[in-house]
C-alpha cells in the first residue's frame, strides 16, 4: 500500500489507471497511491483533475472509441424512488447524445450460473464476458453500488482493453480510468451538455437511431430495441419530465401470509 | 408498503433483460402464489448450477415459493451446495462465513426490526447440515437460546457433499462415504429434539417429495418467527452424487428415507398455535369452545 509520494520514490511516474489487460491479479489503484477526488473533482487515468476536465475526456472517448456502452445499475434501472427516476431521465439525456451507443443494464448483482447472456446483461462477478462479447471500447457505469463497482472495474481492467467510466453518486472510483464524483441528476444533465458540446465541436452529427442492445448471439448484429420514433418520444419525455412519472406503488395485502389449504 | 423496487425506471423497460421483465410482470412479489400454481408465474429461483437430480434444489425452490412475503425476505446461507442456488434467487441473500450464519441472521433481524418497526421483514437461514449442526452448531444453539425471531432451515444431505464426501454430525451411524471409508461411528445428531430443548417454538422435519407439506411448514415457520420466537425446519435433501443415487431414483430414495428415519414430525407450542389462529386465521388452531364452559 503506497502513499502517492512513496510510490513516486520508487517509480519514475505516478501509477496510471489505464485500459488493460493488466494481468490476472491486479493491484487496487488505491494501493498504488491513487486517491479519491475532493468535491468538484474527478480522476483522469488516476490523476486528480477538475470534474470539467474529466467530463471533457469522458465525452471525447465516448464519441471516438468503438462500441460505447452504457451500463445502468440498480440505482438507476429500478424505480426505487423519485430520485432514481430523475437519474434515469438524466441517463437517457446522456444516451441521446452518443451515436452508436449500446445500453446493457446491470440489473442486480446475484451470481449468474451456468451462464450469463452477455448481449442483454452485465454481471459484476464476470463483467469481462459482456465486455468481450460486445467488443466494448468504452463502458460507462452509473447507479452501481460502490462495492460491486470496485469489483467490476478491477475485473475489467484486469482482463480487457476497455476504457471504464464511473459516474459515481458518492466519492468516485480509483479503479475507473475516468470518474466524476457526486453524480446526482443535475450533474448527469451537465455531462449530457458537455457531450453535446464536444460532439458539435468535433463535427459529429447527433444520433438518429436509438441506442441498441448488445450483439445478438446468433447473427452478431446489434439488437434493435426501439424505433427512432419511439426513442425520440422517450428522449422528449426525459428532457421535459412529462409522462415520466413514478410508477404507482403496489401495496401488499396482509392476508398474503395465509397459505392456501394449509395442512 | 411499496413494491417500487420491482418497477423498471421509465425509458429502460425494453433494455432490461427479458427475464427481469417477466419477473416484474409475472413474478410472485405482491401476489399470493402456491406450489400448486408452479408454471403459471415466474419463480424467484429458476437457473442454478446444481447437479442433475439434486433434491436440495427442489426443496430450495419449493421453500422460496412458500415464503409468505418473498419481497420482504432475506435469506442467509454459508459455504456448501445450497447457497449456489439460494444466492441466485431474485431475493436478497447474505453469505455468512462458515459457522456464523445464525449470528449474522440475529443481527440482521434485529436491525430490520429497528429499521422497519411497522412491517414484517423475514429472515431465513438456509444452510447445510455441516454449516449448522457441525461448524455452526454453537451460533445456532445460542440464537435459539436468545429466542431470536427468525427461521432456520437445515438442508440435511447427511454428508459434506461439496467437498468430496466427509461425514457430518447428521450422517447416519455406519454410513460409508468416500472420505469416511470405515463408516460413521456414532449416531445422527437429534437436532429436532435439541431445537425443542433450546427454545424453538416450531420444529418440523420434512422431505421434498410432498410439496404442499413443504409449503405448509415453511409458511408456518416464517410466520411464527415474526413475533413468537425461533423456528426450525429440518429437510432431508439427499446428495445423489455422494450417496450414488441414480437421478431418476432420487424421489424414490426420499420416499424410503421418509418411511425409515424422516417421518413427518411437527412440534408447535400453544403460544405459536394461538398466534397462527389469531393473527393469520389458521382455523385448525382455533380453540374449540367446550359446551357448558363458564368463562371468567
Is there a contact between B16 and A111 if contact means CB atoms under 8 Å apart? no
Asked if the structure places residue B295 within a domain, the reply is no
Q: What is the pLDDT of residue B7?
A: 87
* Distance in angstroms between the alpha carbons of the first and the last residue of chain A: 60
8 Å CB contact of A252 and B3? yes
Q: Other CB atoms closer than 10 Å to residue A22's CB: what's the count? A: 17
CB contact under 8 A, B14 and A260: no
**Dihedral angle over CA of B87, B88, B91, B97, nearest 10:** 10
pLDDT tens-digit series, residues B100-141: 999 999 999 999 999 999 889 999 999 999 999 999 999 999
Determine, yes or no, domain membership for A190: yes
The conformation of residue A39, written as its DSSP 8-state character, comes to: T
- Nearest to A102, CA basis, from A49, A66, A152: A66
Contact at CB, B5 and A213, closer than 8 angstroms: no
Identify which of B7, B186, B241 has the alpha carbon closest to the alpha carbon of residue A107.
B7
Query: Residues in chain B with pLDDT < 50?
Result: 1-2
pLDDT digits (tens, 9 = 90+) for A244-258: 765 554 444 444 444
Residue B264 lies in a domain: yes
Round to whole Å and give the CA distance between B215 and B123: 17
Grid cell 429499521 is found at B115
Q: Which of B25, B128, B114, B27 is nearest to B70 (CA)?
A: B27
- Name which of A81-85, A103-107, B106-110 the model is least confident about: A81-85
**pLDDT of amino acid A174:** 96
Predicted local distance difference test score (pLDDT) of residue B268: 98
* pLDDT value, residue B31: 82
According to the model, what pLDDT value does residue B296 have?
54
Nearest Cα to Cα of residue A151 among A111, A203, A188: A111
Kindly list the distances between the CA atom of residue B40 and the CA atoms of A81, B33, B43, in Å, as whole numbers in the listed order: 30, 9, 9
Interatomic CA distance for residues B101 and B77, integer angstroms: 6
pLDDT at A84: 92
What average pLDDT is seen over chain A? Answer: 91
Task: Give which of A78, A121, A255 to mutate to test B binding, by max B Cβ within 10 Å.
Answer: A78
Q: How far is CA B228 from the centre of its chain?
A: 18
What CATH number did the domain enclosing A235 receive? 3.40.50.1220
**CA–CA min distance A243, chain B (Å):** 9
Mean pLDDT of A103-119: 93
Total number of domains in chain B: 1
Inter-chain touch A252–B11, beta carbons under 8 Å: no
Question: Looking at CA atoms only, how far is residue B280 from chain A in angstroms?
Answer: 6
Instruction: Tell me whether residue B27 is in a domain.
Output: no
Task: Return the pLDDT at B269.
Answer: 97
Find the domain containing A211 and state its range: 41-245
A180 touches chain B (CB under 8 A): no
Across the interface, do A262 and B49 touch by the CB < 8 Å criterion? no
Structural domain includes residue B290? no
Domain annotation covers residue B34: no
pLDDT at A83 over 80: yes
Is there a contact between B166 and B153 (Cβ–Cβ < 8 Å)? no
Task: Give me the pLDDT at residue B5, please.
Answer: 63
Contacts of B2 (CB under 8 A, 6+ apart): A249, A250, A251
List CB contacts (< 8 A) between B10 and chain A: 79, 85, 88-89, 234, 237, 243-245, 247
* Residue with the larger pLDDT of the pair A237 and A2: A237
The reply to whether A2 falls in a domain is no
Contact predicate A224/A102, CB 8 Å: no
Q: How many domains does chain A have?
A: 1
Residue A184 domain-assigned (yes or no): yes
Residue B101: inside a domain:
yes
Q: Grid coordinates in use for B58?
A: 427442489
Q: How far apart are CA A232 and CA B156, in angstroms?
A: 56
Pairing outcome for strands B231-236 and B151-156:
parallel
Q: What is the pLDDT of residue A19?
A: 95
Residue A98 CA to residue B112 CA, distance in Å, equals: 42
Position B90 in a domain = yes
Q: Looking at the partner chain, which of A117, A121, A263 has a beta carbon nearest the beta carbon of B212?
A: A263
Instruction: List the CATH number of the domain containing B157.
Output: 3.40.50.970
Helices B250-260/B55-66 angle, 10° precision: 80
* Domain containing residue B239: 45-280
To the nearest whole Å, the CA of A123 is away from the closest chain B CA by: 12
With CB atoms and an 8 Å threshold, state whether A88 touches B9: yes
Window A:212-251, CB contacts with B under 8 Å: 213, 225-226, 234, 237-238, 243-247, 249-251
Q: Which residues of B are less than 8 Å from A252 in CB distance? A: 1, 3, 30, 69, 71-72
pLDDT, one tens digit per residue, over A147-171 is 999 999 999 999 999 999 999 999 9
* Closest Cβ opposite residue B17 in set A107, A257, A262: A107
Residue A252 is predicted with a pLDDT of 47
Average pLDDT (A184-190) is 96
Q: Which of residues 82-141 of A touch B (CB under 8 A)?
A: 84-85, 88-89, 92, 103-105, 107-108, 110-114, 117, 120-121
Element (H, E) at A94: helix A82-95
Query: Distance from A251 to chain B by nearest Cα, in Å?
Result: 5
In a domain, A54, yes or no: yes
In a domain, A223, yes or no: yes
Amino acid at each position: 500500500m503506497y502513499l502517492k509520494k512513496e510510490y513516486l520514490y520508487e517509480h519514475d511516474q505516478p501509477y496510471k489507471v489505464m485500459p488493460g489487460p493488466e494481468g490476472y491479479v491486479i493491484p487496487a489503484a488505491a494501493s498504488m497511491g491513487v486517491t479519491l477526488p475532493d468535491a468538484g473533482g474527478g480522476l483522469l487515468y488516476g490523476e486528480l483533475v477538475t470534474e470539467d476536465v474529466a467530463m471533457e475526456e469522458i465525452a471525447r472517448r465516448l464519441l471516438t472509441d468503438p462500441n460505447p456502452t452504457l451500463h445502468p445499475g440498480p440505482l438507476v434501472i429500478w424505480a426505487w424512488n423519485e430520485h432514481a427516476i430523475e437519474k434515469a431521465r438524466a441517463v437517457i439525456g446522456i444516451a441521446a447524445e452518443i451515436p452508436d451507443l449500446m445500453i446493457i443494464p446491470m440489473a442486480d448483482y446475484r451470481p449468474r450460473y451456468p451462464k450469463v447472456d452477455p448481449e442483454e446483461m452485465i454481471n459484476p462477478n464476470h463483467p469481462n464476458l459482456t465486455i468481450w462479447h460486445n467488443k466494448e471500447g468504452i463502458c460507462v457505469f452509473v447507479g452501481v453500488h460502490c462495492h460491486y463497482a470496485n469489483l467490476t472495474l478491477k475485473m475489467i481492467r484486469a482482463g480487457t482493453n476497455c476504457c471504464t467510466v464511473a459516474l459515481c453518486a458518492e466519492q468516485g472510483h480509483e479503479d475507473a480510468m475516468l470518474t466524476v464524483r457526486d453524480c446526482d441528476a443535475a450533474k448527469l444533465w451537465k455531462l449530457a451538455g458537455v457531450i453535446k458540446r464536444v460532439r458539435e465541436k468535433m463535427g459529429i452529427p447527433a444520433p438518429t437511431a436509438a441506442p441498441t442492445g448488445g450483439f445478438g448471439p446468433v447473427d452478431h448484429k446489434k439488437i434493435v430495441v426501439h424505433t427512432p420514433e419511439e426513442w425520440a418520444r422517450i428522449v422528449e419525455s426525459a428532457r421535459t419530465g412529462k409522462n415520466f412519472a413514478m410508477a404507482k406503488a403496489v401495496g401488499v395485502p396482509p392476508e398474503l401470509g395465509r397459505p392456501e389449504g394449509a395442512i | 408498503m411499496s413494491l417500487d423496487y420491482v418497477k423498471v425506471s421509465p425509458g429502460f423497460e425494453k433494455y432490461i433483460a427479458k427475464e427481469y421483465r417477466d419477473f416484474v410482470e409475472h413474478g410472485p412479489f405482491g401476489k399470493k402464489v402456491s406450489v400448486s400454481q408452479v408454471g403459471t408465474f415466474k419463480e424467484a429461483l429458476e437457473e442454478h448450477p446444481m447437479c442433475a437430480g439434486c433434491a436440495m434444489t427442489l426443496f430450495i425452490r419449493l421453500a422460496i415459493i412458500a415464503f409468505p412475503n418473498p419481497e420482504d425476505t432475506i435469506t442467509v446461507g454459508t459455504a456448501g451446495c445450497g447457497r449456489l442456488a439460494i444466492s441466485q434467487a431474485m431475493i436478497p441473500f447474505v453469505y455468512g462465513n462458515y459457522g456464523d450464519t445464525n449470528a449474522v441472521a440475529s443481527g440482521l433481524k434485529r436491525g430490520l426490526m429497528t429499521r422497519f418497526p411497522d412491517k414484517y421483514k423475514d429472515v431465513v437461514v438456509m444452510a447445510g447440515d455441516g454449516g449448522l449442526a457441525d461448524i455452526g452448531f454453537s451460533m445456532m444453539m445460542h440464537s435459539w437460546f436468545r429466542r431470536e425471531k427468525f427461521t432456520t432451515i437445515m438442508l440435511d444431505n447427511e454428508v459434506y457433499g461439496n467437498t468430496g464426501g466427509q461425514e457430518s454430525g447428521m450422517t447416519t451411524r455406519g454410513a460409508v462415504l468416500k472420505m469416511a471409508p470405515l463408516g460413521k461411528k456414532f449416531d445422527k445428531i437429534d437436532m429436532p429434539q435439541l431445537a425443542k430443548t433450546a427454545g424453538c417454538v416450531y420444529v418440523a422435519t420434512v422431505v421434498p417429495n410432498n410439496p404442499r407439506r413443504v409449503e405448509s411448514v415453511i409458511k408456518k415457520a416464517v410466520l411464527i418467527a415474526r413475533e413468537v420466537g425461533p423456528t426450525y425446519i429440518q429437510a432431508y435433501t439427499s446428495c445423489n452424487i455422494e450417496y450414488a443415487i441414480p437421478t431418476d431414483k432420487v424421489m424414490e430414495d426420499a420416499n424410503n428415507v421418509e418411511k425409515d428415519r424422516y417421518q413427518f414430525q411437527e412440534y408447535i407450542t400453544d403460544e405459536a398455535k394461538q398466534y397462527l389462529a389469531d393473527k393469520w386465521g389458521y382455523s385448525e388452531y382455533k380453540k374449540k369452545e367446550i359446551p357448558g364452559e363458564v368463562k371468567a
